Structure 1
Amino acid sequence: MSPSQTTVPAHSENPATPARRRGDLILFLVIAFGMSWACWGTAIGLGGPATPGTPTYTPFLLGAFGPLAGALVIRIRRRRRREPVPEHAVRFRPAALLWAPLLMVAASGAVLGAAVIGHAAGDTALSWSDSRDVMQDMGGPAAFLVSMIISGPLSEEPGWRGTAYPRMRATMGRFRIALVLGVIWAVWHLPLFFVDGTVQHDLGLATPGGVLFAAGNIPMAMLVTCAYDRAGVLASIAVHFAVNTTMILLDVHTPATQALIMGCQIVLIAVLLLTGRRPATGTTPAAPAHPARTPAQV
């Protein structure tokens, strides 16, 4: 053996190579889009409103779990390859039990504040009558809240934030990821504009409301990313749930209020970035060993 060469010991866990990270990301997106679009395509084909008790509701609900299915596949692959948790993954910490409700209140407050400002400026008045109808259609307040947690926050965040974000973070900054992942997120939602009974269908695709919904995925992606960096997937689920639920309960649909919500979210994002600490990573970097050097590197 040449003196310039060293033997690299075999470890039980090997770091993921850039090629593997890219492969995992591609596989995740294929599963997320494939499962969701197949289910939502079935819902479109069946027709009718996607409300409980209708044939359309089951494929509509299952479609939301595409990102979660992709996340589970990637996690199983990582464990079989005995790779460590990605460096930028935020593991669960007890502090998440405190941060999650605080961030949830802040995210909900941003939506409520935007709606109040919009009303003061002459936009549609806030009304709880439609909220009661929505909850009644979903089977009552309890069923409504469970549905809002499962369909969206719980079915998406382990994928978009818990799986895609840490792997993208290895080569990209948070702002670039928010832009890229926000665009991907908006495209992923496209079939819902053609499923009767969804918020997207009510907004319409080629309308100011539909365009603002798509654009709003970018600040929303940054907001839930800030929550994830603070306290992991639990916090991103809480923020996603808070925004979705508050918007539906307030019946937010006018372009003016949608634009104000984006503005308030940007302000909240700035506050979180300015007050945040360096996020804890999922792995503890090992002490660097003397790397093997080739003659060209000596």
Structure 2
Amino acid sequence: MHSSFRTPGWFYFVLAFGITWAFWLVPVLASRGALPVGHGVQLACLFAGSFGPFISAFVAVYRDGGWLAVREFAGRALRYRMGLFYFLAAMLLVPIAGAVSMLWMAGHGGAPFALQVSLSHFPLLYAELFIFGGSVNEEFGWSYATDRLQQRQSLLRAAVWLGVIWGCWHIPLFFITGLTQSFLPFWAFLVFTVALRIVIVWGYVSTRQSILVALLFHTASNFSFNLFAVVDRSPKHDERGFIGYALAMLVIALVVAFTARCYRGASQDSIASAAR
């Protein structure tokens, strides 16, 4: 963990939001018919904008400590010694929340419980989502933000605030027709991002700030959106699947918040010790 930061905290967030929203403004305007650009350009802007947190984190880390700090920070993505418990949590907790929601939906007027992806396609889909689905693009940035936010407040409060910030970072996507967010109620999405961030921060801090754990959690989340029909894109637009998914994640997050060592009213010194 950085002992000190030379870069103002606001610099990272302003840069991350600025880069992302500048690129995402193009598909937002195109979706509203205000900008005549092709589908390929829109996709390119969406992909480029998703790297706002990644770029901003490395700029801030370099400003904080130069190339040695950049090397140390990037190396956290290779911290694979996380223990079986945290590995299984990163791979399974979020999909379990999705499965619980879909099982509930199946018993309350929804479609029968079913997987949207065949088992044989699991490895390739997971790899694609890990590399291109937003995990790498975002989690280096949110890991840096976690380090910054916990300097002046409890870890749990930092995780909650970051969950809110993370949810708000996605706001432009809610205005682009056809994207997943355009089918979701924002309040439920915010519940989901706060809950998931609490769980990700727990894994991150408990494994010596392994960014790899954060990447695995994020990928599992995106994988679940593909594995289960938690988002109803039909004209019926039934939001119960995703709301149930968000609430299931909230239950998991509350259990983690009340039981995890790093969250149990730990002082900043004990948090730092647990992260080593």
What band does the TM-score fall into relative to the shorter chain? 0.7 to 0.9
AA in 2 matched with 1:255: E
Q: Deviations over 1:227-262 (max 9, x none)?
A: 212332111111111122212331212432323223
RMSD: 3.5
**1:183–1:217 contact (8 Å) kept in structure 2:** yes
Deviation at 1:100, TM superposition (A): 2.9
Deviation at 1:158, TM superposition (A): 0.8
Alignment of 1:122 with 2:109, yes or no, is yes
Distance 1:189 1:196 in 2: 14
Q: Which range is displaced more, 92-101 or 65-74?
A: 92-101
Alignment of 1:150 with 2:137, yes or no, is no
Aligned to 1:247: 225
Distance 2:259 2:190 in 1: 28
TM-score calculated relative to the size of structure 1? 0.70
**1:64–1:151 contact (8 Å) kept in structure 2:** no
The partner residue of 2:11 within 27, 46, 62 is 27
Alignment of 1:16 with 2:4, yes or no, is yes
Contiguous gaps of at least 5 residues in structure 1: 1-13, 204-208, 285-298
Aligned to 2:92: 105
**1:39–1:59 contact (8 Å) kept in structure 2:** yes
Distance 2:101 2:160 in 1: 22
The partner residue of 2:172 within 181, 186, 191 is 191
**1:100–1:234 contact (8 Å) kept in structure 2:** no
Q: Deviations over 1:137-186 (max 9, x none)?
A: xxx984685145433211111111x2011111111113322332122112
**1:43–1:195 contact (8 Å) kept in structure 2:** yes
Higher relative contact order (CA 8 A, sep 6+): 1
Which protein is bigger by CA-based radius of gyration? Answer: 1
* Structure 1 residues 82 and 68, CA gap change in structure 2 (3 angstroms): closer
Aligned to 1:206: none
Deviation at 1:280, TM superposition (A): 6.2
* Structure 1 residues 82 and 240, CA gap change in structure 2 (3 angstroms): closer
**2:126–2:219 contact (8 Å) kept in structure 1:** no
Deviation at 1:37, TM superposition (A): 0.3
Distance 2:244 2:110 in 1: 11
Contiguous gaps of at least 5 residues in structure 2: 33-37, 232-237, 263-270
* Structure with the largest fraction of helix: 2
* Structure 1 residues 149 and 246, CA gap change in structure 2 (3 angstroms): farther
TM-score calculated relative to the size of structure 2? 0.75
